[in-house]
Structure 1
Amino acid sequence: MSFPPGLKAPVIWQMLSWIVQPFTLMERCAQRYGDCFSLALSTKFPPMVLVSAPEALQHLLSSDNGKDFDVPGELNEIFEPLLGSQSVLGLGGEPHRRMRQLMMPPFHGERMRSYSQLMGEITQTVIGTWSVGQNIDVHAAMQSISMRVILSAVFGVEVGSRYQRLEQLLAKMLNDMGSSLGASMLYFRSLRQDWGSWSPWGNFLRTREQIDQIIYAEIADRRAHPNPERQDILTLLMSAQDETGAGLTDEELRDELMTLLVAGHETTATALTWAMYWLHKLPDVRTHLRSELQNLEDLEDVNALLRLPYLNAVCSETLRIHPVGILTFPRVVRTPVAIAGHTLDPGTIILGCIYLAHRCESVYPQPEQFRPERFLERQFSPYEYLPFGGGARRCIGMAFAQFEMKVVLAHILSEVELSLANSKPARPIRRGLTAGASPVHLRVEGFIPVIPRPRTVTSARLHSP
């Protein structure tokens, strides 16, 4: 049982292909080598193994006990320029477990559901800026919605110059780093040259510095004027203590807030963009979903909304055909292990390929077709369907992201008539370290009258400097 086969091309060529056309590269390797192959994705590490068969994914993701596999901290350094060295995404072992426990409560259960009205209000605010005949940049609109939602969850904000400036800077940073050049700077340290604000890396550093100034100013304000009554995530993290009674440092708080702000909105914005594309490319799907929504007595009834089977199927199929994270977090082999017909030696880095797993024809017949009904016909195992990764590294915001998708889609389909502005098919593209969609534009055809409902939920204000 030899090492998995892979491309013989030079490392730099493989890395550039991974940065520019990762989807074509994965599909080509799968066609040539099957569901287990190797790729050179770093000049610092030997070729890495990618697996996509459910059995191999089960072996990999159910062995997060530190015995067979561990997390290669050095490889997660790719996140550091964006998120910082203390981000939960880069931590391993006990520090990772502790930080996950601290960060999970706001993204689950009743606390998560308490954001439903806010999500609806933010969606309606964005819709209110549209006019009949206008062409909407769908990703920009969805990014605006998801950005405001996560800012509200993290800071408990409503308005304020500091909040508005942070929103603008985060969007700028992510759009700049979402390009192929931006991704290249994360993969190739040699491109990180600060030649002033006019250079790509220098521009990124100065944008990040402005973001840091806002975040650290907010942390300082909270430390100077503590308010234990607040329920936002920053307050929760600032009150957390470990077994020695020590709390998080300002740097740790900053890194976790950046992780939430970046990962907590960009992935949802991309998923919503794809959902909006398919709903308006396939009229039958849109009609079916709109009919289900019209049967709701109250769009604000969160429990009823979450129980809608076709809405859930549409969201699930969106995340199947276009997973935002195309790979699981890497694991490193600790002891010799047999997986997918190959024996891997200690030190080998292995990743689950979510993109290819979601295109396995034996699991998903006609995988290139957008067909929500497949999620009504059967239930898929967590090793067949894993849009948020799996094991101990599964995304802590999974439930929150799915919840937000449902609320936003329900409001848009119930309040606006839209159509595709052109017939050009959307395609998956790289967006920074994740997958994105090529530009999608929808035309506003008209508005559907809605019955106003009383609003009672209020949010705290993010202090203006």
Structure 2
Amino acid sequence: MSSQLPNRITSPPWWQLLNWIADPIGFQEKYSQKYGDIFTMRLSGLGSFVVIGNPQVIGAIFSQDSHFDVGRANKLAEPLVGRNSLMLLDGARHRRERKLLMPPFHGERLQTYALAICSITEQVASQWQVNQPFVARTAMQQISLEVILQIVFGLSEGERYRQLKPLLTEWLDMTDSPLRSSMLFLRFLQQDWGAWTPWSQMKRRQRHVHELLQAEIEERRNNLDEGRTDVLSLMMAVRDENGQAIGDEELRDELLTILFAGHETTATTLAWAFYQIHQQPDVREKLLQELDSLGENSSPMKIAELPYLTAVCQETLRMYPVIPVLFPRITKSPVKLGGHLFEKETTLMPSIYLVHYREDLYPNAQQFKPERFLERQYSPNEYFPFGGGSRRCLGYALAQLEMKLVLATVLSKYQLALAEDKPVKLQRRGFTLAPTGGVRIVMTGTKQKSVVLQKVVG
């Protein structure tokens, strides 16, 4: 059993880095065809990463997460989310923070958030004009940003809300192409060379966001309102076993983590869903029939249980993983996986993309087929759009609920069509992958009958 890193790509590390930034999907396709489902890439300035597309090996990693450090492998994200983000923590501190942060994202809290999601979607969609094309991803960003501001930050009006909304959009749009994203990967670009440089503009916007969030946190601390149900208020109220609350800096960094992890990703996935639904009339027809079968006065939680709607969301997440690989794992001691011995300090990178496109798991993987999720159950190491093990995305239930309710609200009330009859390609957007051009859509009309959403009773 060799302790050498397996199947090392031989091209220069700087060349590998440029290709990884420009086209991480093409990069993985090329080298998985050459080497199989485990290979090693070396990225200039960042080190070596063992990319893993083998479900059994990934399952073994998920089941022994305590043997790996993940937080320190996520250093690249620190300039965006801050050093106190859950993404950058390991060990006891990670377990403590995760336990404290979990309650607002699950259970009955989701019912409270469901009505707000439907209402926000209605507000944004009501501005669309018949026969006026719009960019689906931009519209979905408006919805998902409003969801973050209202449900997570607890802001829906006032001066702070008015300042944060455009500021957050501008900040996120600073990495909207592979070229502009490169400053997250190339350390020499992370220099403040004056107000005109992208990095200093990014840091200036970040400082402004920090100041606004800090002011909001201080105001809440001074005016406690136990009736509030937004995520920030719930996070501020929670205490660990020693009676300790989450500190201001931690709260601020977690809010930014939720913003980056929940806003961009959900908007992108929804744009892909609208693209596939309107590219395939049979999928759209089945979805509309299922929504119509509910009749009127359906509660949002009933809508979220619809099997075909759920399968459409699952298949979208399978085909278009928003990040091409999971958080890297650094081995804390030597570990044997998949016939390889990995020494201490080896960085392993499970690939969502390589597993989600395996023909043995997903026949005709390049085709959009929601039925596959109705026909079989996939294990957590065969399908993991939100990651796995102890690092599974905290907000996955809220993200899935948002996807389903946005699709149901829009499709039951508006007739849409693709504005362009051409395939849409992927492109890098920061650490994520998004549709190039954002998917152009046109509203062709409205419907008389729609799924009327009624307040959940009880």
TM-score between the two structures when normalised by the length of structure 1: 0.94
Partner of 2:131: 133
Is the 8 Å Cα contact of residues 38 and 50 (structure 1) preserved in structure 2? yes
Aligned AA (1:15):
L
State the shift of 1:422 in Å: 0.8
State the shift of 1:114 in Å: 1.6
Task: Go from structure 1 to structure 2 and tell me whether the alpha carbon gap of 1:243 and 1:352 turns closer, same or farther (over 3 Å shift).
Answer: same
- Cα deviation digits, residues 159-217 of structure 1 (max 9, x gap): 22321321211111111123223422111211012233321111111111221121111
State the shift of 1:244 in Å: 3.3
Partner of 2:25: 23
The residue correspondences of 1:418-433 to structure 2 (distance < 5 A) are: 418-433=416-431
Task: Go from structure 1 to structure 2 and tell me whether the alpha carbon gap of 1:452 and 1:334 turns closer, same or farther (over 3 Å shift).
Answer: closer
The reply on whether 1:415 has 2:413 as its aligned counterpart is yes
Partner of 1:441: 440
Aligned AA (2:394):
I
User: Aligned with 1:74: secondary structure?
Assistant: helix
Aligned AA (1:337):
V
Superposition RMSD in Å = 1.7
Partner of 2:51: 50
State the shift of 1:393 in Å: 0.3
For 1:382 and 1:412, how far apart are their aligned partners in 2?
30
For 1:407 and 1:74, how far apart are their aligned partners in 2?
36
Partner of 1:259: 257
Task: Go from structure 1 to structure 2 and tell me whether the alpha carbon gap of 1:455 and 1:321 turns closer, same or farther (over 3 Å shift).
Answer: closer
The residue correspondences of 1:272-421 to structure 2 (distance < 5 A) are: 272-298=270-296, 300-421=298-419
For 1:239 and 1:27, how far apart are their aligned partners in 2?
46
For 2:276 and 2:92, how far apart are their aligned partners in 1?
41
Is the 8 Å Cα contact of residues 304 and 401 (structure 2) preserved in structure 1? yes
State the shift of 1:367 in Å: 0.4
Aligned length: 453
The reply on whether 1:11 has 2:13 as its aligned counterpart is yes
For 2:373 and 2:271, how far apart are their aligned partners in 1?
20
For 1:275 and 1:302, how far apart are their aligned partners in 2?
19
The residue correspondences of 1:233-244 to structure 2 (distance < 5 A) are: 233-244=231-242
Is the 8 Å Cα contact of residues 306 and 312 (structure 1) preserved in structure 2? yes
Is the 8 Å Cα contact of residues 330 and 350 (structure 1) preserved in structure 2? yes
User: Aligned with 1:40: secondary structure?
Assistant: strand
State the shift of 1:86 in Å: 0.1
For 1:158 and 1:208, how far apart are their aligned partners in 2?
21
For 2:332 and 2:156, how far apart are their aligned partners in 1?
48
For 2:303 and 2:88, how far apart are their aligned partners in 1?
35
User: Aligned with 2:336: secondary structure?
Assistant: strand
For 2:10 and 2:81, how far apart are their aligned partners in 1?
33
For 1:246 and 1:399, how far apart are their aligned partners in 2?
27
User: Aligned with 1:18: secondary structure?
Assistant: helix
Aligned AA (1:14):
Q
Aligned AA (1:449):
Q
Is the 8 Å Cα contact of residues 73 and 330 (structure 2) preserved in structure 1? no
User: Aligned with 1:449: secondary structure?
Assistant: coil
State the shift of 1:44 in Å: 4.2
For 1:353 and 1:451, how far apart are their aligned partners in 2?
40
For 1:38 and 1:117, how far apart are their aligned partners in 2?
46
Structure 1 gap ranges (5+): 458-465
Task: Go from structure 1 to structure 2 and tell me whether the alpha carbon gap of 1:249 and 1:362 turns closer, same or farther (over 3 Å shift).
Answer: same
The reply on whether 1:100 has 2:98 as its aligned counterpart is yes
Structure 2 gap ranges (5+): none
Bigger shift: residues 205-214 or 276-285: 205-214
Partner of 1:221: 219
For 1:454 and 1:303, how far apart are their aligned partners in 2?
10
Is the 8 Å Cα contact of residues 42 and 187 (structure 1) preserved in structure 2? no
For 1:216 and 1:265, how far apart are their aligned partners in 2?
20
TM-score between the two structures when normalised by the length of structure 2: 0.95
For 1:44 and 1:278, how far apart are their aligned partners in 2?
36
For 1:410 and 1:299, how far apart are their aligned partners in 2?
13
